[in-house]
Amino acid sequence: VSDKAQLNVVMKNLERLRGEYNDLQSETKTKKEKIKGLQDEIMKIGGIKLQMQNSKVESVCQKLDILVAKLKKVKSASKKSGGDVVKFQKLLQNSERDVELSSNELKVIEEQLKHTKLALAENDTNMTETLNLKVELKEQSEQLKEQMEDMEESINEFKSIEIEMKNKLEKLNSLLTYIKSEITQQEKGLNELSIRDVTHTLGMLDDNKMDSVKEDVKNNQELDQEYRSCETQDESEIKDDETSCDNYHPMNVDETSDEVSRGIPRLSEDELRELDVELIESKINELSYYVEETNVDIGVLEEYARRLAEFKRRKLDLNNAVQKRDEVKEQLGILKKKRFDEFMAGFNIISMTLKEMYQMITMGGNAELELVDSLDPFSEGVTFSVMPPKKSWRNITNLSGGEKTLSSLALVFALHKYKPTPLYVMDEIDAALDFRNVSIVANYIKERTKNAQFIVISLRNNMFELAQQLVGVYKRDNRTKSTTIKNIDILNRT
C-alpha cells in the first residue's frame, strides 16, 4: 500500500511537472520569438554593441535549451524509477531558479536594448545629416562637371571658329594675290590698247558706242577706288568685306574718252562770222601735215572695239567662274564642318564608353583615346593609352599579350555600343587571358550583346559553356568532321 501511495504521489508530481514543463515550453517559445524579433531588429540596425547583446541573448537561449534537456531527462528518469522523486524535485528547483535567472538576464538585456536603440536613433540622425551633406556635395560635383563640359564645348567651338577664320584669311590672302596678278595682266594688256589722239575720227562712231565707252570708264574708275580701299584695310576688315573683294575685277581704260567730241560741231551764222578763216586753214594744214608724217592708222579704232568686246566677254566668263568657285568652296566648307562635327560627336561617345568598358573588364583600370592633333583630327590619327590596375599609363604597343587583348576588346565593345554590328567573328581572344578575365568577357558577350551574333573560336570551357550553340570540329579517319550541340539551359534562360 505504501508503494502504491508513493506511486500516486509520484504520478501527481509528474502531472504537475508536465504542466510546468508545458508552461515552460510555451514561455520559452514566446521568449524565443521575442528574442528572434529583437535579433532581426538588431541585425537591421547593426553595431558592435548590439551584436554583443545578440550574443548574450543566444547564451540565454542555450541555457533554456539546456533546461529543456534537463526536464526531458527528469521525465525519462521518473518513468524508470519512482525513487528518484527527490532528485527530480531538486532538478526542477534548479531549473526554475535557472529560468528565473534567465528571465532577469532577459530583462536586463531588454533594458540595454532600449538604451542601444536610443543611441542608434541619435546615430541615425547623424547619419541622415551626413547623407544629406553627401547628396549636396554630389549635386555640387555634378553641377561642376556640367560646367566643365560646357566650358570644353565652348573651347571646342572657339577652336573650330579659329580654324575657320584662319582658313578664310588664307583664302583672302591667296585671292588678294590672284587679284593683284590679274590687275597687272589686265593693265599690261590695256596699256597696249591705249587710245590715241584721233578725236576727229571718233566722231564717226555712233552715240551708242560712245555712251558704252564712257559707262565702262566710269564703272572701272569706281572699281579701281573700291580695290584701293580694300588694299588698305587690315586683316579683320578684309574678312568682313570678303564678298566685295572676291567680286572685284578691275578694268583700267584711258580717260581720254572724256575728251572725245561728237563729230563736227554745228555753228550759228554769228559764230561762223566770228571765225578766223586763215587761222582755221593754218590748223588744217598743220593737222594734215601731222597725219601724213605720223601715218595714223584709223583702223585701230575697229581693233579697239573688237578687243573691248572680247575683254567684256572674258570678264563675264571670269565672273561666272569665280562665282561657281565660291559656291563650291562654300559647299566644301559646309561638308568639312559637318564631317568634323559628326566625327567629334562619335569620337567623344566612343572615348567615354571605352573608359567604362575597360574599367569594367579590368576591375579598376583606366583607358584614354586621344587625338594627336586636336585642331585637325584627320591628319595625325589617334593614340590609345591604358593604365592597367596598380600600374602606370602605357601605350598599347608596350603592353603584354593579355593586357593588349583586354584593351582591344574594350575598344571593340565601345565601338559596338556606339554603332552595333550584326556579326562578329573572334579567333581565340581568350588565349592570353586568365580564368577571371575569360569569365568577365564571356558574361559580357552573353548578357550585353544580345543585339548581335558572336562567333567565338575558343578552347576555354568557361567561354564556350555560356554559348547558345557549340560547334565542335574534329578529325576522324583522316577527315574533318563537325558536330553541333545546343545549350538547352542557356536557351531556356534567354
Mean pLDDT over each residue of the chain, to the nearest integer? 74
Pairwise CA distance, residues 31 & 61, whole Å: 9
Q: Which helix (H) or strand (E) holds 426?
A: strand 423-427
Indicate the residue among 132, 150, 168 that finishes a domain.
Answer: 150
- 469 or 150, which is more confident: 469
Same domain for 198 and 129: no
Q: Cell numbers at residue 105, please?
A: 538576464
Nearest partner of 374 among 414, 350, 347, judged by Cα: 347
Same domain for 183 and 58: no
Flag whether 374 is in a domain. Answer: no
Instruction: Inform me whether the pLDDT recorded for 79 exceeds 80.
Output: no
Flag whether 409 is in a domain. Answer: no
Instruction: Inform me whether the pLDDT recorded for 229 exceeds 70.
Output: no
Write b or e for each residue in 85-106: b if 16 or more Cβ atoms lie within 10 A of its Cβ, otherwise e: beebeebbeebeeebeebeeeb
Domain that holds residue 204: 176-254+277-340
pLDDT band at 335, cuts 50/70/90?
very high
Instruction: Inform me whether the pLDDT recorded for 158 exceeds 70.
Output: yes
User: How crowded is the C-beta side of 208, counted as CA atoms within 13 Å?
Assistant: 0
Over range 295-307, report the average pLDDT. Answer: 77
Q: How far is CA 268 from CA 189, 261, 271, in A?
A: 44, 18, 5
Pairwise CA distance, residues 364 & 356, whole Å: 10
Q: Cell numbers at residue 195, please?
A: 587710245
pTM: 0.39
Pairing status of strand 453-457 against strand 423-427: parallel
Instruction: Inform me whether the pLDDT recorded for 197 exceeds 50.
Output: no
Q: What letter represents residue 233's amino acid?
A: Q
Q: Cell numbers at residue 476, please?
A: 576522324
Same domain for 205 and 129: no
pLDDT per position as a tens digit, 172-193: 778 878 777 877 776 676 665 4
pLDDT per position as a tens digit, 396-441: 888 888 888 889 888 988 998 888 888 889 898 888 888 888 888 8
Question: Which CATH number does the domain housing residue 448 bear?
Answer: 3.40.50.300
Residue with cell 550584326: 422
Same domain for 228 and 104: no
pLDDT per position as a tens digit, 431-454: 888 888 888 888 888 877 677 888
Give the rounded percent of residues in the chain with a pLDDT score beyond 70: 71
- How confident is the model at residue 92, as a pLDDT? 66
Flag whether 263 is in a domain. Answer: no
Flag whether 411 is in a domain. Answer: no
Same domain for 318 and 431: no
- How confident is the model at residue 276, as a pLDDT? 74
Instruction: Inform me whether the pLDDT recorded for 68 exceeds 60.
Output: yes
At 131 the three-state DSSP class reads helix
Q: Which helix (H) or strand (E) holds 473?
A: strand 469-476
> In this structure, what is the dihedral angle of CA atoms 108, 109, 114, 120, given to the nearest 10 degrees?
140
Kindly report the length of the chain.
494
Same domain for 15 and 86: yes
Pairwise CA distance, residues 385 & 383, whole Å: 6
- 395 strand-pairing partners: 385
Same domain for 185 and 57: no
Pairwise CA distance, residues 102 & 345, whole Å: 72
Over range 55-73, report the average pLDDT. Answer: 72
pLDDT band at 313, cuts 50/70/90?
very high
Is residue 370 exposed (0-12), middle (13-18) or buried (19+ Cβ within 10 Å)? exposed
Flag whether 384 is in a domain. Answer: no
- 207 or 340, which is more confident: 340
Instruction: Inform me whether the pLDDT recorded for 487 exceeds 70.
Output: yes
Indicate the residue among 150, 184, 218 that finishes a domain.
Answer: 150
Sheet (strand 394-395) strand order: 366-371, 382-387, 394-395
Nearest partner of 24 among 68, 58, 62, judged by Cα: 68
- How confident is the model at residue 29, as a pLDDT? 80
- How confident is the model at residue 232, as a pLDDT? 46
Same domain for 142 and 188: no
Flag whether 391 is in a domain. Answer: no
Pairwise CA distance, residues 157 & 168, whole Å: 16
Pairwise CA distance, residues 389 & 471, whole Å: 35
- How confident is the model at residue 280, as a pLDDT? 80
Instruction: Inform me whether the pLDDT recorded for 462 exceeds 90.
Output: no
Over range 32-52, report the average pLDDT. Answer: 66
Pairwise CA distance, residues 456 & 445, whole Å: 10
Is residue 17 exposed (0-12), middle (13-18) or buried (19+ Cβ within 10 Å)? buried
pLDDT per position as a tens digit, 368-383: 999 988 888 888 889 9
Span of 207-211, 280-284, 424-428 with lowest mean pLDDT: 207-211
At 193 the three-state DSSP class reads coil
Flag whether 14 is in a domain. Answer: yes
Span of 106-120, 237-251, 301-315, 470-484 with lowest mean pLDDT: 237-251
Instruction: Inform me whether the pLDDT recorded for 236 exceeds 50.
Output: no
- How confident is the model at residue 279, as a pLDDT? 82
Over range 296-314, report the average pLDDT. Answer: 83
Q: How many other C-beta atoms can be found within 10 angstroms of the C-beta atom of residue 479?
A: 7
Same domain for 17 and 126: yes
Same domain for 318 and 186: yes
| Number of domains, the chain | 3
Q: What letter represents residue 437's amino acid?
A: N
Instruction: Inform me whether the pLDDT recorded for 325 exceeds 90.
Output: yes
Pairwise CA distance, residues 453 & 445, whole Å: 9
Over range 301-323, report the average pLDDT. Answer: 90
- 56 or 457, which is more confident: 457
Same domain for 223 and 137: no
Flag whether 300 is in a domain. Answer: yes
Give how far the C-alpha of residue 370 lies from the chain's centroid of Cα atoms, to the nearest Å: 12
Q: How far is CA 281 from CA 85, 199, 238, 276, 303, in A?
A: 181, 18, 59, 9, 32
Same domain for 191 and 146: no
Span of 6-15, 249-258, 328-337, 342-351 with lowest mean pLDDT: 249-258
Q: Are 367 and 387 in contact (CB under 8 A)?
A: yes
- How confident is the model at residue 250, as a pLDDT? 40
